[in-house]
């Protein structure tokens, strides 16, 4: 089976081609079958390959399909590399991707762009599979850019609305900043080490560079730039909340299975480079910490159900970066996996809510949905519990590992741990705020709906066919029990990960279990409780009306003013420059040439009078002139 791994991205790619070349002329049933089936085949193959690979006890397997180009000693190939880390990523991408595709057949059933949607989704998954399978950085970069392209296409999927197009462009441009950094990093690596094969780099780098040497730091920092852009970490996180413009299954795909996990994967894949540059690795940890706190606070103030989930993704990726930064590589991948489960679950459940409420996004226009939307409700409860890391859910185990690893950091252990625990508290607060506001309390949808003419009051009924309910069920089970899965990445990080058994005190454990529960309770007090509804509301208004509360609410709601800042620092000056140079200086020359041609054309047109006489006179005149010259000259 192992020699068939080339087919893994080939299936979705073939699906993409089939859907694109027929230009939406296929019946929906067949288009859906191609779209979902191709990913299903990939998943099946990935599962078989994984079973064989893990059973064989091999450390890695390389499969060269063909040489891409050959320039001197530089011969990157379409060659795929399989090891424990790849296996985990493959299963997450194809497995969660398959469930999301299956769900989409229900979610997008009435959309006119049905086939186009699945075409893009297939290409997205194919790119991501190439990204994780690539054995050299050039091929990885191909997948990296393919993912970027597909995110652009999918975020702007409903292109009728200019705002969606803007969000898509924003995602594309912002991630491009990171990609440029990564490209420079690749150039540097090739110039220094003479190869872009990942395994060769990982063996050569420690031989050539000593720890903390300038080149190693530069290379790691540049790769970090790429990872930060793709994974929406500070300071390039601004694109992700706006990426919610796309249909909800896309958000699930971007957040759970593809795209944002690419940065985490890149750092884990090249972890030896980061170990050579301890300062950059520490930076990774602090970027993660700052991001997870910032996003946590922001999520607390959002009203849009999808934006809350978007910020929670940013925050959870922050945890993964924190883990990467403290060298807990397998913990990061573990959290990546559990996060894929519960974030996909949450997004798909959110999609059900949004679809059932006729594309309503504002959580304060929902409320009391737990009886009307039972499937979405239970999915949300399970997903939020896992996200909050309540004991015995999948998120609990992964977050636990990360926080313990952070605590073990020799210098900043306590600081990183406290930050992480604060983040966990915020997570509990905002995720259960979402649950309580949407599924409990008063039904605000009816009131608002009756104001809108096109809404039929009382038309809330859960839209779940089997295609939509089944993925929710499977993801729910995985979110609950995914923590029991052991990620087979020990061999990948064996030489890197120091497995010193730390024995944190009982107090630390207790704190880590109690903090999320405490967060849920506070959230219940503020948003959920019937008996204290008055008190909770009173408290809320008091917090919101205090000057500090009002300021923080506004500040956090705007995502810490990052958008405004970038708007002011980059977008406005750029637009001003563009306005200033509206008549392009270089264009002037070519415009002048065109103008000259136009003027001479007008002059010559005058000579064409259409009168025979006029032509005869010019003939005679010319003759006289020529003879005159001949005689007198």
Token readout for 551 is 């300021």
Token readout for 465 is 């066919």
Site for another protein in 598-617 (CB under 8 A): 604-613, 616-617
**Cα–Cα distance, 372 to 359 (Å, whole number):** 16
Looking at the Cβ atoms of 575 and 617, the one nearer to another protein is 617
Sequence-distant (≥ 6) Cβ neighbours of residue 80 within 8 angstroms: 5, 6, 8, 62, 63, 65, 133, 134, 135
**627 counts as binding another protein under rule CB under 8 A:** no
**Cα–Cα distance, 367 to 382 (Å, whole number):** 18
**Shortest Cβ distance from residue 621 to another protein (Å)?**
11
Residue pointed to by tokens 């309503």: 360
Residue pointed to by tokens 């005190």: 505
* Size of the residue set binding another protein (CB under 8 A): 13
Looking at the Cβ atoms of 414 and 620, the one nearer to another protein is 620
**Shortest Cβ distance from residue 591 to another protein (Å)?**
24
Looking at the Cβ atoms of 486 and 613, the one nearer to another protein is 613
Of 590, 440, 428, nearest to 530 by C-alpha is 440
DSSP string covering 425-445: HHHHHHHHHHHHHHHSS--HH
Sequence-distant (≥ 6) Cβ neighbours of residue 205 within 8 angstroms: 193, 216, 219, 272, 273, 276
Q: Which of 414, 494, 575, 620 binds another protein (CB under 8 A)?
A: 620
**Shortest Cβ distance from residue 625 to another protein (Å)?**
15
Q: Which helix (H) or strand (E) holds 63?
A: strand 61-67
Token readout for 2 is 């192992």
State the angle between helix axes of 7-21 and 28-56 in degrees (0 to 180), rounded to the nearest 10: 170
Question: Strand runs (DSSP E) across 387-532, as ranges?
Answer: none
Bridge partners of 82, per DSSP, are 61
Residue 512: half-sphere exposure toward Cβ, Cα within 13 Å: 26
Phi/psi at 239 (nearest 5 deg)?
-75, -30
Q: Which helix (H) or strand (E) holds 207?
A: helix 198-208
State the angle between helix axes of 114-133 and 84-107 in degrees (0 to 180), rounded to the nearest 10: 170
**Shortest Cβ distance from residue 632 to another protein (Å)?**
18
**Shortest Cβ distance from residue 616 to another protein (Å)?**
6
**Shortest Cβ distance from residue 595 to another protein (Å)?**
19
**Shortest Cβ distance from residue 604 to another protein (Å)?**
8
Looking at the Cβ atoms of 73 and 607, the one nearer to another protein is 607
Residue pointed to by tokens 């924003």: 170
**Shortest Cβ distance from residue 609 to another protein (Å)?**
6
**Cα–Cα distance, 375 to 358 (Å, whole number):** 17
Looking at the Cβ atoms of 207 and 607, the one nearer to another protein is 607
Q: Which helix (H) or strand (E) holds 80?
A: strand 77-82
**Shortest Cβ distance from residue 623 to another protein (Å)?**
10
**Shortest Cβ distance from residue 605 to another protein (Å)?**
4
Helices (H), 243-277: 248-252, 260-269, 271-276
Looking at the Cβ atoms of 531 and 610, the one nearer to another protein is 610
Looking at the Cβ atoms of 207 and 608, the one nearer to another protein is 608
**Shortest Cβ distance from residue 626 to another protein (Å)?**
16
Token readout for 258 is 């593809």
Phi/psi at 63 (nearest 5 deg)?
-130, 110
Looking at the Cβ atoms of 191 and 607, the one nearer to another protein is 607
Token readout for 552 is 């923080």
Rg (C-alpha) for the chain, rounded Å, is: 29
Looking at the Cβ atoms of 593 and 616, the one nearer to another protein is 616
**Shortest Cβ distance from residue 631 to another protein (Å)?**
14
- Give the interface with another protein as residue ranges (CB under 8 A): 604-613, 616-617, 620
């Amino acid at each position: 089976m192992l020699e068939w791994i080339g087919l893994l991205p080939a299936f979705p790619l073939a699906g993409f081609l089939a859907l694109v070349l027929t230009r939406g002329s296929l019946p929906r049933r067949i288009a859906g079958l191609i779209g979902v089936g191709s990913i299903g085949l990939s998943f099946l193959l990935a599962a078989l390959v994984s079973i064989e690979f893990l059973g064989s006890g091999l450390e890695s397997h390389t499969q060269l399909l063909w040489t891409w180009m050959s320039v001197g000693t530089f011969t990157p190939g379409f060659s795929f590399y399989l090891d424990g880390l790849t296996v985990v990523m493959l299963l997450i991408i194809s497995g969660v991707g398959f469930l999301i595709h299956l769900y989409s057949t229900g979610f997008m059933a009435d959309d006119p762009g049905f086939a186009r949607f699945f075409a893009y989704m297939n290409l997205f998954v194919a790119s991501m599979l190439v990204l994780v399978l690539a054995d050299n950085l050039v091929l990885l970069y191909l997948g990296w850019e393919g993912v970027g392209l597909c995110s652009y296409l999918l975020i702007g999927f409903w292109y009728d609305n200019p705002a969606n197009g803007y969000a898509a462009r924003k995602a594309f441009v912002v991630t491009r900043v990171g990609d440029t950094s990564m490209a420079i990093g690749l150039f540097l690596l090739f110039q220094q080490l003479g190869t872009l094969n990942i395994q060769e780099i990982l063996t050569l780098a420690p031989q050539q560079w000593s720890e903390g040497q300038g080149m190693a730091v530069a290379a790691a920092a540049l790769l970090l730039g790429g990872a930060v852009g793709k994974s929406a970490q500070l300071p390039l996180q601004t694109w992700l909340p706006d990426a919610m413009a796309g249909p909800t299954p896309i958000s699930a795909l971007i957040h759970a299975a593809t795209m944002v996990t690419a940065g985490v994967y890149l750092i884990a894949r090249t972890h030896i480079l980061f170990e050579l540059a301890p300062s950059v690795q520490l930076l990774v940890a602090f970027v993660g910490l700052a991001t997870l706190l910032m996003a946590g606070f922001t999520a607390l103030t959002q009203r849009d159900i999808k934006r809350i989930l978007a910020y929670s993704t940013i925050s959870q990726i922050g945890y993964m970066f924190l883990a990467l930064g403290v060298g807990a590589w397998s913990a990061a991948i573990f959290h990546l996996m559990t996060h894929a489960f519960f974030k996909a679950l949450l997004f798909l459940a959110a999609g059900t809510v949004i679809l059932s409420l006729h594309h309503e996004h504002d959580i304060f226009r929902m409320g009391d949905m737990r009886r009307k939307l039972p499937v979405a409700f239970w999915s949300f409860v399970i997903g939020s519990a896992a996200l909050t890391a309540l004991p015995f859910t999948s998120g609990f185990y992964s977050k636990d590992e990360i926080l313990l690893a952070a605590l073990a950091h020799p210098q900043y252990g306590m600081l990183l741990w406290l930050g992480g625990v604060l983040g966990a508290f915020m997570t509990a607060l905002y995720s259960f705020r979402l649950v309580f506001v949407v599924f409990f309390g008063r039904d605000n949808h009816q009131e608002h709906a009756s104001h809108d003419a096109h809404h039929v009051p009382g038309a809330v009924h859960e839209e779940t066919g089997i295609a939509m309910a089944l993925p929710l069920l499977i993801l729910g089970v995985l979110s609950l029990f995914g923590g029991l899965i052991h990620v087979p990445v020990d061999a990948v990080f064996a030489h890197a990960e120091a497995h010193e058994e730390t024995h944190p005190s009982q107090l630390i454990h207790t704190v880590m279990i109690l903090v999320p529960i405490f967060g849920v309770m506070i959230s219940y007090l503020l948003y959920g409780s019937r008996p204290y509804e008055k008190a909770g509301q009173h408290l809320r208004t008091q917090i919101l009306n205090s000057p500090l509360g009002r300021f923080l609410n506004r500040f956090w709601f705007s995502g810490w003013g990052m958008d405004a800042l970038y708007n002011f620092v980059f977008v406005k000056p750029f637009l001003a420059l563009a306005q200033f140079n509206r008549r392009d200086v270089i264009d002037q020359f070519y415009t002048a040439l065109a103008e000259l041609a136009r003027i001479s054309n007008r002059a010559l047109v005058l000579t064409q009078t259409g009168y025979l006489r006029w032509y005869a006179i010019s003939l005679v005149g010319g003759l006289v002139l020529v003879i005159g010259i001949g005689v007198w000259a």
